[in-house]
Amino acid sequence: MTTGRVVFGDNLEVLAGLPSESVDLVYIDPPFNTGRVQSRRTLSAIRTETGGRAGFHGRRYQTVERETRSFPDRFDDYLGFLEPRIVEARRVLKRTGSFYFHVDYREVHYCKVLIDSIFGRSCFLNEIVWAYDYGARTRKRWPAKHDNILFYAKNAKAYLFNADEIDRIPYMAPGLVGPEKAARGKLPTDTWWHTIVSPTGREKLGYPTQKPLGILSRIVKASSPPGGLVLDFFAGSGTTGEAALKAGRRFLLVDHNPEAIEVMKRRFAGAPEVVFEGSGVVPGTAVL
């Protein structure tokens, strides 16, 4: 049985081919319009007899660059690029569906005004702040170490939110709440402390803007039903799909970057229930 589809093609064309009110959850992590090329080098260490650097038990290693993945992150009209895609995202959402929009401090204010105009201000539920602590630090201002995730419901009075499925987190001051509450933990607030994907960790796939599985797992569990359909049309490394797969949801991922498709092929290599398709889909094609 097919659980997931990965489509290589233009996301606006793919969205136009999806039936209205067919998707339970949309999460997108579009390019952040940073004005530069996003790139990530993949390195590996090879044993050598001479040169290189010393490692465990005195063995020597040489660092070799395997590949560099990149994409341009620059738009002349960023909001004009996003608007028709967000309009389509709202159309394909079920009445109880949710929309999560992941961006950073550069564009979040403008994007919120745009999405308010499409979903309605009353359907805005949260601005989630994902805070992390990694990377270079400027000494000219407060170092920027967070992303913003805007959370909207299609219908503010009828949306799904599975509070009981969300993994609880420790209290920051457990002594103030008593041993029983401290042992149970609390629901996360709208500020999420979570490390980025480690550049040298097992989770890293070599994609420049890969997001942590823990962040997507929390969103998928909270805002989609078991067996429901999750859509990410800026799929990148496919983290949304893996989170859906692990949580027992179906998924549709779309990306027009061949490097992203290659990364997702590696990610889902051991998942026969995930199928890959070529550019575009036929309008009116049934969703999974």
Task: Label the pairing between strands 4-8 and 250-255.
Answer: parallel
Residue 62 lies in a domain: no
Residue 53 lies in a domain: no
Residue 228 lies in a domain: yes
How many separate domains does the chain show?
1
Residue 51 lies in a domain: no
Residue 244 lies in a domain: yes
Alpha-carbon Rg for the chain, nearest whole angstrom, is: 20
Minimal CA–CA distance to 99: which of 14, 179, 260, 111? 111
Q: Is 178 helix (H, G, I), strand (E, B) or coil?
A: coil
d(CA 110, CA 150): 12
- Provide the residue range defining the domain that includes 170: 4-35+74-277
Residue 65 lies in a domain: no
What is the pLDDT, as a whole number, of residue 201? 85
d(CA 95, CA 154): 6
What is the pLDDT, as a whole number, of residue 261? 95
What pTM does this model have? 0.83
What is the pLDDT, as a whole number, of residue 122? 98
Minimal CA–CA distance to 154: which of 102, 90, 100, 101? 90
What is the pLDDT, as a whole number, of residue 198? 83
Contact (Cβ atoms closer than 8 angstroms) between residue 9 and residue 145 = no
Minimal CA–CA distance to 260: which of 32, 30, 74? 30
Contact (Cβ atoms closer than 8 angstroms) between residue 186 and residue 126 = no
Cβ of 195: how many Cβ atoms within 10 Å? 12
Helices 213-223/239-247 angle, 10° precision:
50
Amino acid identity, residue 215? I
Residue 128 lies in a domain: yes
- Give the CATH number for residue 154: 3.40.50.150
Contact (Cβ atoms closer than 8 angstroms) between residue 277 and residue 268 = no
Residue 50 lies in a domain: no
The token pair that represents 204 in the structure block: 């890293």
Query: Which own/partner contact pairs does 186-195 have at CB distance under 8 Å and 24+ positions apart?
Result: 187/163, 188/218, 190/126, 190/127, 190/128, 190/129, 191/128, 191/129, 191/131, 192/128, 192/129, 192/130, 192/131, 192/218, 193/131, 193/132, 194/130, 194/131, 194/132, 195/132, 195/133, 195/134
Residues of the chain with pLDDT under 50: 35-36, 38-44, 55-57, 68-73, 280-286
What is the pLDDT, as a whole number, of residue 129? 98
d(CA 51, CA 177): 57
Amino acid identity, residue 1? M
Place of tokens 């389509």: 88
